[in-house]
Amino acid sequence: MKKAAIFDLDGTLLYTLEDLADSTNYALSCFGYSPCSVSQVRSYVGNGVRLLIARALPQGEANPVFEECLSTFKNHYKKNMYNKTKPYDGVIEMLDKLKAFGIKTAVVSNKFDIATKELCYHYFDKKIDIAIGESKNIRKKPSPDSVLEVIKIFEFDKKDCVYIGDSEVDIQTAKNAGIDCISVNWGYKDTDFLISKGASCIVENCEELLKSITT
């Protein structure tokens, strides 16, 4: 049994796609650009909001309005990130059971730090022990920095920790941190994609995930 379960947020614990798409399209519309489809935004997420907007905005970071568009997105998202977002089925119960087992829990996300912390507090309250998001002081995933910081705070050996996520970024993050990885296929990437990116353990629901963490 693992002593610590470290989770990705978007596409793993929370369904956030529609709120991300709405804020992306609001920001694009403010500068006269056409909206993206939800499926397009799905393909853009996973590497932080800066890259999300770079992928959605014509010319990306070379666009003269890029920084202003990114700021517009962040401001809109902070006010609208609870509209359509919700925990995936079984997540709340799974987190409760992990706590009952005495397993520490954390979230490490490429979502900007204030949103990561606020979403974790809003939806999970004391079910998550530590939440770390993107900031200027820490490198984004797949850098292992934030995962290693969590392990250091918990004072556990790497072998006692596991990282759980829904994307290739998460697989690489766990590898870079030197810990086990569990991939979930209910998020923004499917089973075939995860296999193609080297996933060694894929689960289809929270019951399977709980079993993988606790056995």
Q: What is the pLDDT of residue 79?
A: 96
Q: What is the pLDDT of residue 135?
A: 87
Question: Any bridge partners for residue 65, and if so which?
Answer: none
Share of the chain above pLDDT 90, in %: 94
157 is catalytic: no
- The average confidence (pLDDT) of the chain is 96
Q: What is the pLDDT of residue 158?
A: 98
pTM over 0.85: yes
How does pLDDT run across 128-181, given as a tens digit for each residue? 999 999 888 888 999 999 999 999 999 999 999 999 999 999 999 999 999 999
How does pLDDT run across 80-104, given as a tens digit for each residue? 999 999 999 999 999 999 999 999 9
- Residue of 210, 211, 175 whose CA lies nearest to 200: 175
**Contact call for residues 119 and 85 (beta carbons, < 8 A):** yes
Q: What is the pLDDT of residue 136?
A: 84
Cα–Cα distance for residue pair 108/147, rounded to 1 Å: 7
**Catalytic choice (8, 22, 166, 170):** 8
Checking if the pLDDT of 46 tops 90, the result is no
Domains of the chain: 4-15+85-214 (3.40.50.1000), 17-80 (1.10.150)
**Contact call for residues 54 and 61 (beta carbons, < 8 A):** yes
**Contact call for residues 6 and 147 (beta carbons, < 8 A):** yes
Which two tokens mark 12?
Answer: 């793993």
Q: What is the pLDDT of residue 146?
A: 96
